[in-house]
Structure 1
Amino acid sequence: MMTIPVHVPVLLQEVLDSLVLPPAARVLDLTLGLGGHAEALLARCDKAARYLGVDRDPEARYQARRRLGDDLRLEILAGNYEDIWSDAQFLAWKAEYAAGGFDAILADLGVSTLQLRTPERGFSFRDDGPLDMRMDTTSGPTALEWIAEQTDESLADAIYQYGEERASRPIARAILRAHREGRLATTKDLAEAVYTVIPREPAKRKGHSDPATRTFQAIRIAVNGELDRLAAALEAAVANLRPEGRLAVISFHSLEDRIVKQTLRRLAGIYDGPGRTAPAELPRILKLIHPGGLAPSEAEAAGNPPSRSARLRVAERLP
């Protein structure tokens, strides 16, 4: 039997402290992953609670079910946080168990530890693997197929926009040149193309992150459309909260966090536009909890490296 992967949920105590649940809570987990947060939250509820976990990754759903066993309070759906709101199974479950809205909704964004540590998924350059990067391995183009469809300009734009990489244009040219020459098939190949523009060793000596990190992040985000409808998904989540229900969102890089922050502030009636004077019609349906967000403690960052860049933002639906 395959061993359940070691999984340390990020910002777990902060999530538990922020999502104070009634015993018979109704919880929606938009990114179930390996089920670490679900396991801890369910432990605080009684047998009348109901927990709906959603994930687009078939392997994550399988491992989460193995972790949580035959807990009858849990149902797991295939899907993603952008599209789940119109899914027939979701709507039927909500009508039966959470017609008045959810007590808590959790979204742990970004790539999972399982995905990063499985070379065959192609998310990391630490081990060689195929250039896949799909969170849902059953649909959509792989990273290699996506790259093959790009021009120098479109690839550079994606690397700059989603990776905030200043050397995006020469990196894009190097990647597409490697593809044309038949030297682009694996994660190591992609990293080597980046290193022809930004050498790896000088960056390591200066204590910087690997030069390929930003490019891998950018291509992964583009392949999975991670930011395309994030704001709309957060608005849908808020609409599905009961009064005084809470939404908790964990992000891992500045692009995600900026969208989360701006969306929650706007729904809290906080205007960040010119003049900082809110239009009269700006709705106020949320109250921000921890307005600046929560970062991991020094102890967590040291003991669980994937948590280092994480930030938790929490908001409560107003009555």
Structure 2
Amino acid sequence: MSVATPTPLHVPVLLQEVVDNLPLPPAARILDLTLGLGGHAEALLARCDAGSRYLGVDRDPQARALALQRLGGDARLSILACAHEDVWKDPAFLDWMASHAPEGFDAILADLGVSTLQLRSPERGFSFRDEGPLDMRMDTEHGPTALAWIAAQTDESLADALYQFGEERASRPIARAILAALRDGRLATTRDLAEAVYTVIPREPAKRKGLSDPATRTFQAVRIAVNGELECLAATLESAANALRPGGRLAVISFHSLEDRIVKQTLRRLAGIYDGPGRVAPVTLPKRLRLLHPGGIAPGEAEAAANPPSRSARLRLAERLP
């Protein structure tokens, strides 16, 4: 595929915190479940010795191509085309792990959510700031586009998705407005989708008050639904915990409350901490992990000011028990 599009400015979030908290012993084995443009990979590989091996996984073909341009000269790196929720049964992954990490990984990283590359490429359709097709697929070679997904929804199912994945309180009128625009032939681009939202929540009052654009929650919800971002996240984290060697660490960066809630609850459960009703767990939970920095790590003031997309990020860490 063509990668002629200039690489947008890419600043890895919580980079120093990731490097400081992931163990990199001699001959380290590292799994990056969301390689992206390779910013975290570049920093971690710089700390690794010649015997280390790094497996980067990403379902976005454009991101893989750009990461290969950036890091492809490093013989320690392998790149696998796959979604993080599917990698655990992928034959290529199983072969790589059998050859290079039969005892498990020393470090596993997952930098969740949409990337700067995706947001700043209008042709990908992730953002309402520049007009582009209603695509929003992280894997541009598979699955329905955002437009096709919307076309398959009813008023009720679309409203449910907007509420569940975007926490949009005006989900029902917005869903009706979107599907009305679709029926009238007025829904083909990202700008069309945003305009449908603005018929319910006008943009200018929010802009004057310094609030986020009213279309933000709808775009987040549609993107999450199209890519199934939350459906298998807990299972992915459990598989990652199982793939760590004793003493290995899992680092997960989330960018909104829905992701972070799943990450937090899953890691707590894998650490044997009960979050259900009442104070006592009905059964003894197996303890596979030890939580590090239980409240998570947020960007410092300097990073938040220099890299605004990092402001909502939170890094959660856990270590595999013997």
Amino acid at match of 2:15: L
Q: Note the residue ranges of structure 1 that are not aligned, 5 or more in a row.
A: none
Match of 1:73 among 66, 73, 76: 76
The number of equivalent residue pairs is 319
Alpha-carbon separation, structure 1, partners of 2:130 and 2:26: 44
Provide the alpha-carbon RMSD of the alignment: 0.9
Alpha-carbon separation, structure 2, partners of 1:180 and 1:63: 38
Alpha-carbon contact 1:15-1:248 (below 8 Å) kept: yes
Amino acid at match of 1:311: R
Alpha-carbon contact 2:8-2:116 (below 8 Å) kept: no
Cα deviation, residue 142, structure 1: 0.2
Alpha-carbon separation, structure 2, partners of 1:93 and 1:275: 44
**What is the match of residue 243 of structure 1?**
246
Q: Note the residue ranges of structure 2 that are not aligned, 5 or more in a row.
A: none
CA-to-aligned-CA distance 1:268-298 (integer Å, 9 cap, x gap): 0110111121234311111000000011111
Alpha-carbon contact 2:35-2:58 (below 8 Å) kept: yes
Amino acid at match of 2:105: F
Amino acid at match of 2:221: A
Return the TM-score normalized by structure 2. Answer: 0.98
SS of 1:287 mapped into structure 2: strand
Alpha-carbon separation, structure 2, partners of 1:105 and 1:63: 21
Alpha-carbon contact 2:104-2:245 (below 8 Å) kept: yes
SS of 1:275 mapped into structure 2: coil
CA-to-aligned-CA distance 1:114-133 (integer Å, 9 cap, x gap): 00000000000000000000
- Fraction of identical pairs, as percent: 79
**What is the match of residue 180 of structure 2?**
177
CA-to-aligned-CA distance 1:99-158 (integer Å, 9 cap, x gap): 000000000000000000000000000000000000000010000000001000000000
Amino acid at match of 2:245: R
SS of 1:10 mapped into structure 2: coil
**What is the match of residue 170 of structure 2?**
167
Amino acid at match of 1:18: N
Match of 1:263 among 260, 263, 266: 266
**What is the match of residue 22 of structure 2?**
19
Are 2:293 and 1:290 equivalent residues in the alignment? yes
SS of 1:182 mapped into structure 2: coil
Cα deviation, residue 39, structure 1: 0.2
**What is the match of residue 190 of structure 1?**
193
Q: Where has structure 1 moved over 2 Å in runs of 4 or more?
A: 1-6, 278-281
Alpha-carbon separation, structure 2, partners of 1:154 and 1:173: 11
Cα deviation, residue 24, structure 1: 1.4
Alpha-carbon contact 2:7-2:117 (below 8 Å) kept: no
Are 2:210 and 1:207 equivalent residues in the alignment? yes
**What is the match of residue 130 of structure 2?**
127
CA-to-aligned-CA distance 1:26-81 (integer Å, 9 cap, x gap): 00000000000000000000110000000000000000011113100000000011
